[in-house]
Chains A and B, each alone.
Chain A
Amino acid sequence: MTVYNIYIFDKAGTLLYYEEWNRLKQSGMTRGRGGKTNSFVSKISPTDTKEGFLCYKTSKYTLHFLETPSGLKFVINTDVHSQGVRELLQQIYNQVYVEYVVKNPLCNLSQPIQSELFKSNLDSYIKQSPIFLSKAL
């Protein structure tokens, strides 16, 4: 299992942060097999629709989406086997975003996140999560 990347958007849809850990070779691979770029799109359907949370599964990866009541959007792409990603996103909001962006008065909430402290905390949070660790299996 593995985590590919994360996106954070504010309520206006501005991209506040993007980070990737393992590059997703999705589109390149599909195209190489004969231009079936759209084949996975048709398979998309929400598989988890708890409040504020959506999860879309394709044949190659799963997109998990969490929206807070304040309109912040967290999107994380993992491989199709990853479990417990909703909890991971919630924790990233609670313990990384709120602690190192909201509580850092030098971070403007509607501008891209520049804080290195946030970046390093997010990175270790992701790397410590079972979803990331089990990649080696």
Chain B
Amino acid sequence: MSRSTTRFDTKKVNSELVTLTYGALVAQIIKDLENTDDVSKQLERLGYNMGIRLIEDFLAKTGTGRCLDLKDTADKIQTAFRMYLGVQPNVANWSAAGDEFSFVLDSNPLTDLVELPEDLKGLKYCNIICGVIRGALEMVQLDVQSWIVQDQLKRGSKH
């Protein structure tokens, strides 16, 4: 194999590559499906498919054990955000019953370079992340619902 030296910051390139590829994919799905809700659903589904594989990669790389409780789960998802998206979300808004919480992302690499036109205002652009979380947790025997509360593209943040 040849050397893999490059003048570029490969981490940054990798990050931009994901952002741009994801953007191109979303644009294609919008073209294929007319209904914005269907596009959001499709993105969630793609995320789910990624999540069921990504979880194994995560478990292997971190050597992590079973989650003790939902707080522990939240911590581990936080780690995963850092590992795969390079951002550290805050865990917030725990429900009284302790069965619901939010991740708040100050910055989201997926939406860097993205601006949504007026007619796509209903689109949940980052719904793929909800899908990844649902898929990943299902594999560790946790059935969850994951949704976007607020969106930076429409101002605010998530889950």
Stretch at the interface among A27-35, A65-73, A75-83, A129-137: A65-73
Which of A51, A52, A90, A102 lies at the interface centre, i.e. has the most chain B CB atoms within 10 A of its CB? A102
Assess the B53–A102 pair: CB atoms within 8 A: yes
Nearest neighbor of B67 in chain A, beta-carbon distance: A69
Q: How large is the interface on B (under 10, 10 to 19, 20 to 34, 35 or more residues)?
A: 10 to 19
Which B residues touch A11, using CB under 8 A?
139, 141
Assess the A98–B65 pair: CB atoms within 8 A: no
Whole-angstrom distance from the CB of A39 to the nearest CB of chain B?
A: 36
Considering only CB atoms and an 8 Å cut-off, how many residues of chain A contact the other chain?
Answer: 17
CB of B55 closer than 8 Å to a CB of A: yes
Whole-angstrom distance from the CB of B64 to the nearest CB of chain A?
A: 7
Whole-angstrom distance from the CB of A128 to the nearest CB of chain B?
A: 19
Which B residues touch A23, using CB under 8 A?
none
- CB contacts under 8 Å to B, within A23-77, are 51-52, 68-72
A–B pairs, 26, beta carbons within 8 Å: A11-B139, A51-B66, A52-B65, A52-B66, A68-B56, A68-B59, A69-B67, A69-B140, A70-B55, A70-B56, A70-B59, A70-B139, A70-B140, A71-B139, A71-B140, A72-B56, A90-B63, A93-B60, A94-B60, A97-B56, A98-B56, A98-B60, A102-B56, A102-B57, A109-B52, A109-B53
Please give the residue numbers on chain B whose beta carbons come within 8 Å of chain A beta carbons, in ascending order: 52-53, 55-57, 59-61, 63-67, 139-141
Q: Which 9 A-B pairs have the closest CB atoms?
A: A94-B60, A98-B60, A102-B56, A70-B139, A69-B66, A102-B53, A69-B140, A98-B56, A51-B65
